């Protein structure tokens, strides 16, 4: 978890993430120490969640690159897709992530996030992932018909 800020404030959130949380993105020194500890403990792969990791895209890229430098694979990055408002922006970010060694997003589509994120945003992101050959899966896809109605 690189941060506790999120564009949603889901009532079930274990970490009480929201935009009102203080603090910012994980500092580079903390990233380095965390990755070193993970490798020392035998961890070879992680996923990045949050908060919303895409609130600081440059920080996210730094975290991904730092993990890679320590021999840790990022299996996927969780996002609620709030930022998927422009195909050009999404394409550029997917290309940057691919260049950094990430090839999959976990896109949240559930009733909790739908209170804060219009369901069209994560669905657009999924479509653009398909278009550009970027791996993705919808978290809680079973709720799509309910959310659409």
The answer as to whether 76 is a domain residue is yes
The answer as to whether 5 is a domain residue is no
The answer as to whether 13 is a domain residue is no
pLDDT digits (tens, 9 = 90+) for 82-91: 999 999 999 9
Residues 35, 67 contacting (CB under 8 angstroms): yes
For residue 33, the domain's CATH number is 3.80.30.10
Predicted confidence at residue 98, as pLDDT, reads 98
DSSP 8-class letter at 135: E
Integer Cα distance of 28 and 6 in angstroms: 20
Mean pLDDT across 18-23: 85
pLDDT digits (tens, 9 = 90+) for 3-20: 999 998 988 888 888 888
pLDDT digits (tens, 9 = 90+) for 94-139: 999 999 999 999 998 888 877 888 878 999 999 999 999 999 999 8
The answer as to whether 59 is a domain residue is yes
The answer as to whether 20 is a domain residue is no
The answer as to whether 8 is a domain residue is no
Q: Is the pTM of this model over 0.75?
A: yes
The answer as to whether 15 is a domain residue is no
Give the structural domain span for 45: 28-148
The answer as to whether 3 is a domain residue is no
């Amino acid at each position: 978890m690189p941060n506790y800020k999120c564009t949603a404030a889901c009532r079930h959130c274990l970490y009480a993430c929201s935009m009102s949380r203080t603090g910012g993105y994980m500092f580079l020194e903390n990233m380095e120490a965390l990755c070193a500890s993970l490798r020392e403990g035998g961890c070879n792969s992680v996923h990045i969640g949050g908060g919303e990791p895409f609130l600081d895209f440059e920080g996210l890229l730094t975290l991904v690159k730092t993990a890679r430098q320590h021999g840790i694979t990022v299996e996927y990055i969780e996002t609620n897709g709030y930022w998927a408002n422009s195909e050009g922006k999404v394409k550029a970010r997917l290309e940057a992530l691919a260049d950094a060694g990430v090839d999959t997003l976990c896109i949240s589509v559930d009733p909790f996030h739908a209170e804060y994120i219009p369901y069209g945003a994560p669905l657009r992101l999924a479509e653009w992932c398909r278009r550009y050959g970027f791996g993705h899966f919808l978290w809680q896809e079973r709720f799509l018909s309910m959310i659409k109605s």
